[in-house]
A and B are shown apart, each in its own frame.
Chain A
Amino acid sequence: KNEVEQSPQNLTAQEGEFITINCSYSVGISALHWLQQHPGGGIVSLFMLSSGKKKHGRLIATINIQEKHSSLHITASHPRDSAVYICAVRPQGAQKLVFGQGTRLTINP
């Protein structure tokens, strides 16, 4: 079983829909990252969380440390949000990130 599991693996929605991507992990962590990867490879960091909730524009990320679970929400989704969204955790005491397999999001106009 992977240390970081994301669901769903693929998600297709219509423009304007509210999107939720989930991430569960099995190890103690010092931080959790949500990343966005567009076709062609470039990875951009969206959020880094160690507790609570963060919001940036239409993106919201939450984390529940006790339940070892995080969610990424996108409000009023747009075709330009189409990308792979990756959850990654930083295990306690480590520098490296451990990644989930990613969620491929497609927003149709």
Chain B
Amino acid sequence: GAGVSQSPRYKVAKRGQDVALRCDPISGHVSLFWYQQALGQGPEFLTYFQNEAQLDKSGLPSDRFFAERPEGSVSTLKIQRTQQEDSAVYLCASSLRRWRGAYNGETQYFGPGTRLLVL
């Protein structure tokens, strides 16, 4: 079965350019996460969707970052007026939230990431 896919895998942008990064989660997964991973660092949380609702966007570093998931499946992370400090790998993950029973957390399935380089 298909896992989480992301596109493009690599993106080179000129400073000031807008970019859009796409995430296709595993079919039926309710939860979707975006993370940013700088070189040599662990990932950092950006935003979280439950279906189409963006429930947490506390990690978005500035108002240049915008994410949407209008139909509760595919998500797009948009970065406006890119800056050099935006260069990173952007990771998407999805999980299937269980609504019943004990719930201590779920496995998140990660996509391969989009490596963004802003020149």
Contacts and interface: CB of A to CB of B under 8 A. Distances in A.
A23 to B, nearest CB: 11
B42 A102 contact: yes
A45 B108 contact: yes
A102 B44 CA distance: 12
Interface residues of B, number: 27
A96 B56 contact: yes
Contacts, number: 66
Interface string B29-59: 0010101000011111100101000011001
Interface of A: 4, 30-31, 33, 35, 40-45, 48, 50, 86, 88, 90, 94-102
Interface of B: 31, 33, 35, 40-45, 48, 50, 55-56, 59, 89, 91, 93, 104-110, 112-113, 115
